[in-house]
Amino acid sequence: MKLSDVVLTLEEIAPPELAEDFDIGRIGLTLDLENDIEKIAVALDPTEYVLKRAADIEADLLITHHTLIFNAVNRIDKALADVLKIALDNNISMYSMHTNYDRAKDGINDVLAKRIGLENIEETDMGRIGTISPCSAENFANHVAKSLDTHVWYTGKREEVSKVMVFGGSGFKSEFLETAREHGVDAYVSSELKHDIIRSWDDMLLVDATHYATENPGMEELCPRLEEKLGIDVEFIDHNPFIRTL
């Protein structure tokens, strides 16, 4: 199967024009070897570990959520060269879908909402809002931790939760929390919670469920969808950063 045909399918799943402006230049083929594709690997990040695994399983294309080269470069350092060498020697092209896949139907945020078990789901520009059976803040945090198999870190004054907004990745931004407040949300689940956000938005329950655990499910569920659409083998590579808490 031609790489360009795979790209057409990927653009149907996550139309590049859905991406945020800051993602310009970061969506699509980030390493374009114009090769034929018989097998695809999918992962959250293009780490060296992930590339090695992709080579082991003889993938021809690696699809990730985060791009290989975030800030444009004029120089290639050893770390980037090491990753590139694995890709070039094993003829693995690379493709990135980021905020376009966050927004897309059945993308990062939809999968996240589903994993947490939200009902009556409403789409906002980026996150998803839904309901759960009313429970205490602590029980809700516990439920999130179990659903996503992760540590969580939470704060805020809300004691009972029934309306929830989820936002995969780094979603504790005022503009999105504003949306949550306007919708009467009790708990906001995302990651990378910062001090200034806690100070301004603690009338809600703020649950930091890690960047990895809120986005990884969306990439995992991409695999069966792709297999069905393309009729070729698609394999997920899990590379969890091992976070501990005390």
State the minimum distance, in angstroms, from the CB of residue 12 to a second copy.
21
152 counts as binding a second copy under rule CB under 8 A: yes
194 counts as binding a second copy under rule CB under 8 A: yes
Task: Measure the CA–CA gap between 9 and 119, rounded to whole angstroms.
Answer: 29
Query: Residue 215 burial (CB < 10 Å; 0-12/13-18/19+)?
Result: buried
Around 121, how many Cα atoms within 13 Å sit in the side-chain half-sphere? 20
Q: What would the two tokens of residue 12 be? A: 């149907």
**Residue selected from 97, 104, 132, 154 as contacting a second copy according to rule CB under 8 A:** 154
In residues, how long is the chain? 246
State the minimum distance, in angstroms, from the CB of residue 206 to a second copy.
9
State the minimum distance, in angstroms, from the CB of residue 53 to a second copy.
15
**Residue selected from 182, 195, 228, 231 as contacting a second copy according to rule CB under 8 A:** 195
- Please, which residue, 34 or 182, has the CB nearer to a second copy? 34
* Interacting positions 32-91 with a second copy (CB under 8 A): 32-34, 45, 47, 66-67, 69-79, 81, 84-85, 88-89
**Residue selected from 5, 159, 160, 202 as contacting a second copy according to rule CB under 8 A:** 202
- Tell me the C-alpha to C-alpha distance, in Å, between residue 104 and each of 18, 22, 95, 146: 7, 17, 16, 25
Any binding-site annotation on 98? no
Stretch in the footprint of a second copy (CB under 8 A) among 12-20, 107-115, 140-148, 226-234: 140-148
Any binding-site annotation on 102? yes
182 counts as binding a second copy under rule CB under 8 A: no
State the minimum distance, in angstroms, from the CB of residue 120 to a second copy.
26
120 close to 183: Cβ distance less than 8 angstroms: no
- Please, which residue, 5 or 123, has the CB nearer to a second copy? 5
- Please, which residue, 9 or 200, has the CB nearer to a second copy? 200
Q: What would the two tokens of residue 107 be? A: 């993308």
Three-point CA angle 212, 73, 59, nearest 5°: 50
Dihedral pair phi/psi, residue 145, rounded to 5°: -60, -45
DSSP, collapsed to helix, strand or coil, labels residue 142 as helix
- Tell me the C-alpha to C-alpha distance, in Å, between residue 111 and each of 2, 155, 161, 166, 198: 28, 24, 20, 10, 26
Provide the mask over 222-241, with x wherever binding to a second copy is found by CB under 8 A and - wherever it is not. -------------------x
- Tell me the C-alpha to C-alpha distance, in Å, between residue 202 and each of 54, 76, 184: 42, 43, 13
Instruction: Write out the residues near a second copy by the rule CB under 8 A.
Output: 25-26, 28-34, 45, 47, 66-67, 69-79, 81, 84-85, 88-89, 138, 141-142, 145, 151-155, 169-170, 191-192, 194-196, 198-200, 202, 210-212, 241-246
Tell me the binding residues for a divalent metal cation.
Answer: 65-66, 102, 211, 215
